[in-house]
Amino acid sequence: MVQITGRYKLEKNENLDGYFKAMGVPFIARQMMAASTPLVEISCKDDTWTIKTSTLIRTTELNFKIGEEYDEVMPSGDILKSTTTLEDEELRTISKVPDGSQTSRLYSFSEAGMLLTLIHEKSGQTAKRHFRRLAD
């Protein structure tokens, strides 16, 4: 089984603007997110997982237990109800958006890195973010 915990640096995006546009993110914010190169740190202590995402502009941290619903606060102030599951070598987060729709994030891992697939269910827009694993 591949190791999930670790640090990952963004290498490239696919259709990130289309995905964030479908999510209703304003143009300037979309441009800022597309230009950023986040560092993602994934850790697990006891039964609590942490996904910390850092950019020059801000840092977010999600803390959750597998299979339990948790609140995720968006930059807009909206609160998503999210649940993350672990299957094989993938973390899958399903989030309920305030408008009643949902989004999915699929974190797929390999020895070389992580592929983060973002899916906006209502519009069908999908984005991919490719990360390389950093040495510890």
Assess if residue 21 is contained within a domain. Answer: yes
Query: What CA–CA distance (Å, rounded) separates 42 from 123?
Result: 29
Q: What is the pLDDT of residues 41-76, one digit of tens each?
A: 999 999 999 999 998 888 999 999 999 999 998 777
Please give the pLDDT value at position 99.
78
Assess if residue 96 is contained within a domain. Answer: yes
Assess if residue 1 is contained within a domain. Answer: no
Assess if residue 136 is contained within a domain. Answer: no
Q: How much of the chain exceeds pLDDT 70, in percent?
A: 99
Please give the pLDDT value at position 82.
96
Supply the range of the domain harboring residue 124. 6-131
Assess if residue 41 is contained within a domain. Answer: yes
Please give the pLDDT value at position 108.
97
Q: How many CB atoms lie within 10 A of CB 122?
A: 13
Assess if residue 117 is contained within a domain. Answer: yes
Assess if residue 110 is contained within a domain. Answer: yes
Instruction: Pick out the chain residues at pLDDT < 70.
Output: none
CATH number at residue 43: 2.40.128.20
Please give the pLDDT value at position 33.
81
Domain count, the chain: 1
Please give the pLDDT value at position 130.
98
